[in-house]
Structure 1
């Protein structure tokens, strides 16, 4: 392992973090030769977690991107085994031309397989297929004492449940075996429907559940009424005509501006224009999978637009029963604050349980928003949202969190004590130390 010092940030660029020792991994067969100068370590993939779940201030990071090899791929059954540092983008490049696709994908493909497992990511099809962990067949876990486990639902099953959604704390995942899903081509047949209230969103979501594999909504959080755009789609069947070539050129935010480019004025203007971007109430189209699943991946380093102080993402899930009232309260607080998010996403989760003990998704409505970091003003707003979500029986997503109170975490993740027994004694994170205080 190559060892160096460095400051590795999370995607939200908040909180600030000091020096961390970086251990670059390249050999999955090697033992974890961790320097005695480092008392605690944490796996670090591609740094796409938003808060402090991927940070280890004053400790070490096991950088896994060097574990980037494909081990086996059965093109007939769609079973793929690869090392934990492989990006979802690299998997798609390999399998889509061969008629396969990821069973679950988050909103960016620049995530490692190990990171997707550790945070048990979810996607637009949660209501039908559950989380990423539901499609993991097995993986290898390497502990700091040198012990290795091959984990599956039937072998070392407790380690399997603790590690999926386990935030990288149970040890180092070296490889993952995943069941892919069959597709006919790289195209998505979809619809976009304008809605004018949260109640209308809920009706659209219920109606689409039986017809569409993928559903998600953009919501205008600057308008307390809960208006937005409902997007749904399916993998397209075999097409008789060739689709046009898709440009894979990406734009890049070239530098970090001195202040956030997202303000109350730009937010309201953008949201009003985006809400009215289509003339009809309902449109249909066949699109390539990249803009459908990964619209933000077309703008590289987009997190820079929030300036040097970064941003905080707030993602919650609230129960279906009474959930719309809770969301109305949340949106009301945001609108009254004059703050808000241009990247506000609303979805209804299904009731398929994850094998992971600390997995975030559960039946209910989930809302995700990005807030420019204005210091105490932003933190106070998020604390007000916490009160609404917590009182209503909801919870927050650790992979997106940078400031949740420990008692809130322990109240909403009731398996935390059971999980704690499986934490590797030499593994820790800023997030874990914060919520265990």
Structure 2
């Protein structure tokens, strides 16, 4: 078993659960298990210590309350299927991550955040109710008013409180499936952080950041600001469908690229071309299909093969506002000096998270991919020290190698989470390789 980053890999038993009624008996009779949706967490979060229970077949949409825009689904329902079904009806999920190929159970367990976290918070803030299979096999209803401690432990709890059998959450009404996008080009990190803060009133805001530029250009970025388009916004495109359909991916990476393909020279060249092309568009406002705006990487299936057979690590941290410029400058300079940083580097603003182990905290989050190599681990250990000293933390859904010390220093509500696990018996039944590694 492996995550999306293809590192680390673990041997273990896998059981495919295809019937909801089979969940209670399986859970109560086994120990050391974790649920797995579509396997899009990057590291070892969805690999059981002893048993991995795949739940992607539990994928029925059960009801939709149009008055409250409230959707109830099984935990294995894919975000892609929700988008395919509800955008034509004029609804959009309240929060989406960077890929649509994730399950609702996985979105809740990771308390995913999107380009609108600074405005709307994480996905967990829009969840009304969860039906959770706990260690005894009992199905517990959890909400902000019912079994609330278990509810907030499950948001961002990485599946370690139980299996999300069913969830109810609200959708956002939209009048079109297009995004009005404005691009802002910045020349350095200081300008980037200021520009991101100035976009706090925008619904969506995210920066692509060049993590290989140095000197006066360190941290130069392209910021993509977006709003859901109105019918009048798309009047200039008379042939465009107001609610355009799901875009099927046209390309797939059929083989692993050789390890030398993504090197400092090739990535630097790509970053320079991408930045210059984006900067030329900075004065324009454009209309972008929802799929291209939110899920650009989904256009290339199996893009994780870009990094070769050894796989890659994604490092995503959040650092508080007051430390952001100094800490991120030091981090980016180290990445640039090493030549390891990739073209997939993203910077966003966050506010606080809802769950006990939710990743978001007020500040800036930087995420980037690095190919697995012996010297990368030492580099990331050094970066982690900067994050901890700044009062920040790492995202568990992306993590494959942080130390227990780094984790414990970043999550002040860890003991409260462990107490919920203890009182519900989850500590004796639910265990992932991530949980084992970090002592959760």
| TM superposition score normalised by structure 1 | 0.94
**Structure-1 separation of matches of 2:189 and 2:23:** 52
| Contact 1:257-1:304 within 8 A present in 2 as well | yes
User: Which residue among 3, 10, 14 is the counterpart of 2:3?
Assistant: 10
Higher helix share: 2
**Structure-2 separation of matches of 1:336 and 1:102:** 39
Whether 2:376 is the aligned partner of 1:373: answer no
Superposition pairs of residues 343-358 of structure 1, within 5 angstroms: 343-350=344-351, 353-358=352-357
Is the alpha carbon distance of 1:165 and 1:27 closer, same or farther for their aligned partners in structure 2, counting shifts above 3 Å? same
Whether 2:429 is the aligned partner of 1:430: answer no
Once the two structures are superposed, residues 27-70 of structure 1 have per-residue CA deviations (whole angstroms, 9 ceiling, x without a partner) of 2233433399964100000000011111225x111111010000
| Contact 1:260-1:372 within 8 A present in 2 as well | no
Which residue in the other structure is 1:221 paired with? 211
Which residue in the other structure is 1:403 paired with? 401
Deviates more, 1:378-387 or 1:274-283: 274-283
| Contact 1:79-1:180 within 8 A present in 2 as well | yes
Whether 2:332 is the aligned partner of 1:317: answer no
| Contact 2:249-2:298 within 8 A present in 1 as well | no
**Structure-2 separation of matches of 1:28 and 1:287:** 39
Which residue in the other structure is 1:335 paired with? 336
Deviates more, 1:64-73 or 1:419-428: 419-428
Q: CA deviation at 1:197?
A: 1.1
Whether 2:61 is the aligned partner of 1:62: answer no
Q: Tell me, what secondary structure is at the counterpart of 1:330?
A: helix
Is the alpha carbon distance of 1:362 and 1:14 closer, same or farther for their aligned partners in structure 2, counting shifts above 3 Å? same
Superposition pairs of residues 222-241 of structure 1, within 5 angstroms: 222-224=212-214, 225-239=218-232, 240=235, 241=238
Whether 2:76 is the aligned partner of 1:76: answer no
Report the RMSD for the aligned CA atoms in angstroms. 1.7
Which residue in the other structure is 1:169 paired with? 160
**Structure-2 separation of matches of 1:277 and 1:54:** 38
| Contact 2:28-2:136 within 8 A present in 1 as well | no
| Contact 1:319-1:393 within 8 A present in 2 as well | yes
Q: CA deviation at 1:260?
A: 5.2
Q: CA deviation at 1:21?
A: 1.6
| Contact 2:74-2:167 within 8 A present in 1 as well | yes
Once the two structures are superposed, residues 392-424 of structure 1 have per-residue CA deviations (whole angstroms, 9 ceiling, x without a partner) of 111100111111110111111011111112331
The count of corresponding residues between Structure 1 and Structure 2 is: 424
**Structure-2 separation of matches of 1:68 and 1:255:** 30
| Contact 2:183-2:283 within 8 A present in 1 as well | yes
Superposition pairs of residues 3-402 of structure 1, within 5 angstroms: 8-18=1-11, 20-34=12-26, 39-57=31-49, 59-210=50-201, 212-224=202-214, 225-239=218-232, 240=235, 241-243=238-240, 248-259=248-259, 261-278=261-278, 279-350=280-351, 353-374=352-373, 376-402=374-400
Once the two structures are superposed, residues 298-319 of structure 1 have per-residue CA deviations (whole angstroms, 9 ceiling, x without a partner) of 0000001110100000000000
**Structure-1 separation of matches of 2:105 and 2:316:** 21
Q: Tell me, what secondary structure is at the counterpart of 1:29?
A: helix
Which residue in the other structure is 1:3 paired with? none
**Structure-2 separation of matches of 1:177 and 1:43:** 19
